[in-house]
């Protein structure tokens, strides 16, 4: 388990990453298409919007009619958010700044490490599915007529940022080498103090 300051930094980074992931999941601009100079079409994981200055949005009616990349991205993003939610609860129990499991320091360290690992897995899932979604859009763009194909939109960049921040926070939370160095320093200092006291008493 890392130091309390590093844990808090990791927890805050993970919170920002989760917020970005939630925003990206429900953003409508996962892919976009321009028809003419003013007409725009946006498609997200849950709805599609179109229009000029004023846009109208409609929810996707049938899941089976959606493209494969939309179905897969929606499922994996929800799985990532579920893992992040569980990781939040687990990390809260294992962090040094909380009073849960204070009597079991070693178990508390392990709990914090597992919470950090879950954050890393959640962020990795977000990065992988977003990159795969972009790859599918780019392939479709190159194989079809450019005027009739979509390009990826802003939600992709928000999702990438969310995945990276969640992973970074999980790495800070699951750091154990820092605690080992702190423990070794405290042990060595505790061994030195009695020796100096005994020498001074002997003299």
Report pTM.
Answer: 0.77
Model pLDDT for residues 4-17, shown as the tens digit of each residue: 778 788 889 999 99
Strands (E) located in 7-149: 31-35, 39-43, 47-51, 55-59
Is the CB of residue 33 less than 8 Å from the CB of residue 40?
A: yes
Residue 123: its H or E element: helix 105-143
Strands (E) located in the chain: 31-35, 39-43, 47-51, 55-59, 151-152
DSSP assigned state of 102: T
Model pLDDT for residues 132-167, shown as the tens digit of each residue: 999 888 887 777 665 556 777 889 999 999 999 999
Residue 198: its H or E element: helix 177-202
Looking at CATH, the fold of the domain delimited by 4-27+66-181 is given as: Butyryl-CoA Dehydrogenase, subunit A; domain 3 (1.20.140)
């Amino acid at each position: 388990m890392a130091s309390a300051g590093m844990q808090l930094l990791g927890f805050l980074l993970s919170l920002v990453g989760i917020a970005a992931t939630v925003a990206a999941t429900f953003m409508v601009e996962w892919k976009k298409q321009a028809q003419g100079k003013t007409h725009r079409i946006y498609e997200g994981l849950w709805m599609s919007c179109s229009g000029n200055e004023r846009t109208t949005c409609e929810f996707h009616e049938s899941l089976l009619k959606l493209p494969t990349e939309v179905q897969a991205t929606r499922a994996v993003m929800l799985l990532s958010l579920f893992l992040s939610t569980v990781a939040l609860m687990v990390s809260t129990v294992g962090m040094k700044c909380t009073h849960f499991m204070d009597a079991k320091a070693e178990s508390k360290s392990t709990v914090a490490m597992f919470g950090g690992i879950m954050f890393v897995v959640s962020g990795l899932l977000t990065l992988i599915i977003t990159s795969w979604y972009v790859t599918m859009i780019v392939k479709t763009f190159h194989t079809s007529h450019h005027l009739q194909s979509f390009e990826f939109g802003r939600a992709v960049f928000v999702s990438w940022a969310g995945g990276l921040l969640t992973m970074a926070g999980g790495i800070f939370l699951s750091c154990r080498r820092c605690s080992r160095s702190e423990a070794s320093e405290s042990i060595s200092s505790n061994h030195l103090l009695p020796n100096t006291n005994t020498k001074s008493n002997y003299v």
